[in-house]
Amino acid sequence: MERFHRRPVSNGIVIRSDYHLNDGGVRMQTVKSVFIVAGKILLSAAIIILLVLIGFLIYAAVQLMAGRSADDVLSYTSISLSQMSIQGFAFIIGTLIMYAAFDRKHGWSLGLKQQKPFRLAVEGLAAGILLMTVSALLIWLCGGVSFNSVTFDNTVLASMSSGVLLFTIVSVNEELFSRGYLQGLIKHHFGGTAAIIVPSLLFAALHLQNNNVLDNPLPLLNLFLAGIVLAVSREWSGGLWMPIGLHLTWNYFQGYVYGFEVSGNKVDSLIHLTREGSDTISGGAFGAEGSLLTTLVLLAGTFAIMRYYRTPKLPVSGEPKRQ
């Protein structure tokens, strides 16, 4: 027979268990939680894919009715520009549907309701600029790239302006899904450590379709570590505004300012560079996120964020409260 009594809550990150069970009860509860979490992740993926398909069908229909040819609508440029927005809004809407339908009643928050959100967002923006600038400088100092010229014309200005909007959508949707929903869901069932590691693995997996991500192990390793940085930012700052800001400027300065590919995607940039030396140092065609030097920056950044915020601001797992 199972023995039930309240377990005291510590001030650290703990594995969630509202009651102390015997070994068999703990195993059964763990298996049940695994199936619940896996089922919700699969359902959220199905909803998001459906929303993406609906979004592209609506986009194509509107463009065709406006008189554009099918070849023009399906061109690479048209698809690449629309894809970011459609996928972004699909992730946002799908995440909100899942949270409202299944998880809001459990009391844990997505992380959007915070005190001083503007200040936290600015701290995230500054952290993203700092981490990417240090990465770029180290790659340059170690001979991985040379910075050749600076171009600021109408083409670059238009590209940089649209990049702000596009990477805002990217940072909001990826953080809301990965750090807001997945991290909150997994923490509710398994505690803070699992909530940092598992969504970071899934975050890396979401980028498997990116160009050049499998050229060597470093891109996937750094995507995982970037997920750790963002997850720690969410945990220690108490919500999503800091990691949203960090994610935005990390991507933006990597591509539109310093001229690296952004996770394998090339954009028009302010600074033009030439890759030199090995891909291990330069990051190769994947960008700065493929460099071993960026690995070191991400590791250092994780501990710096933990040091800056001192202690996690999120409630201890098992005692959720609204932020």
pLDDT in tens, 122-142: 999 999 999 999 999 999 999
Q: What angle do CA 247, 253, 259 make, to 5 degrees?
A: 135
Confidence band of 185 (pLDDT split at 50, 70, 90): very high
Coil, helix or strand for 207?
coil
Print the domain residue range for 113.
23-309
Q: What are the b/e assignments for 116-147, b being 16+ CB within 10 Å?
A: ebeebbebbbebbbbbbbbbbebbbebebbee
Could you report the per-residue pLDDT of 35-55, keeping only the tens digit for each?
Answer: 999 999 999 999 999 999 999
What gap in Å lies between CA 206 and CA 199, rounded to an integer? 10
Could you report the per-residue pLDDT of 211-269, keeping only the tens digit for each?
Answer: 899 989 999 999 999 999 999 999 999 999 999 999 999 999 999 999 999 998 888 89
CA 133 to chain centre: 19
Quick one: angle between helices 154-174 and 241-252, nearest 10?
150
Residue at 2 is within a domain: no
Of the candidate ranges 49-63, 192-206, 232-246, 283-297, the one whose mean pLDDT is the lowest = 49-63
Residue at 323 is within a domain: no
Residue at 195 is within a domain: yes
Residue at 10 is within a domain: no
Confidence band of 6 (pLDDT split at 50, 70, 90): very low
| Contact assessment for residue 234 and residue 319, using Cβ atoms and an 8 Å cutoff | no
What gap in Å lies between CA 295 and CA 293, rounded to an integer? 5
Region for 71 from its dihedrals, namely left if φ exceeds 0, alpha if ψ lies in -120 to 50, beta otherwise = alpha
What gap in Å lies between CA 262 and CA 267, rounded to an integer? 8
Residue 221, number of CB atoms within 10 A of its CB: 17
User: Please, which contacts does 73-78 make with residues 24 or more away whose CB atoms are closer than 8 Å?
Assistant: none
Q: What is the pLDDT of residue 312?
A: 77
Q: Classify residue 290 by its DSSP letter.
A: G
Helix (H) or strand (E) holding 303: helix 292-309
How many residues comprise the chain?
A: 323
Q: Where are the beta strands (DSSP E) in the chain?
A: 145-150, 271-275
Closest CA to 106 of 321, 314, 312, 323: 321
- Helices and strands: H and E segment counts in the chain: 11, 2
Residue at 183 is within a domain: yes
- Which position has the higher pLDDT, 56 or 178? 178
Residue 2 confidence (pLDDT) above 60: no
| Contact assessment for residue 279 and residue 215, using Cβ atoms and an 8 Å cutoff | yes
Confidence band of 17 (pLDDT split at 50, 70, 90): very low
Q: What is the pLDDT of residue 70?
A: 74
Residue at 301 is within a domain: yes
Q: What is the pLDDT of residue 194?
A: 96
Q: What pairs with residue 6 in β-bridges?
A: 19
What gap in Å lies between CA 209 and CA 187, rounded to an integer? 27
* Number of structural domains found in the chain: 1
Closest CA to 133 of 125, 169, 275: 125
Residue at 17 is within a domain: no
Q: What are the b/e assignments for 12-27, b being 16+ CB within 10 Å?
A: ebbebbeeebeeebee
What gap in Å lies between CA 240 and CA 68, rounded to an integer? 39
Residue at 14 is within a domain: no
> Looking up tokens 């939680």, which residue turns up?
33
As a 3-state breakdown, the chain gives helix, strand, coil percent values, each rounded to 5, of: 70, 5, 25
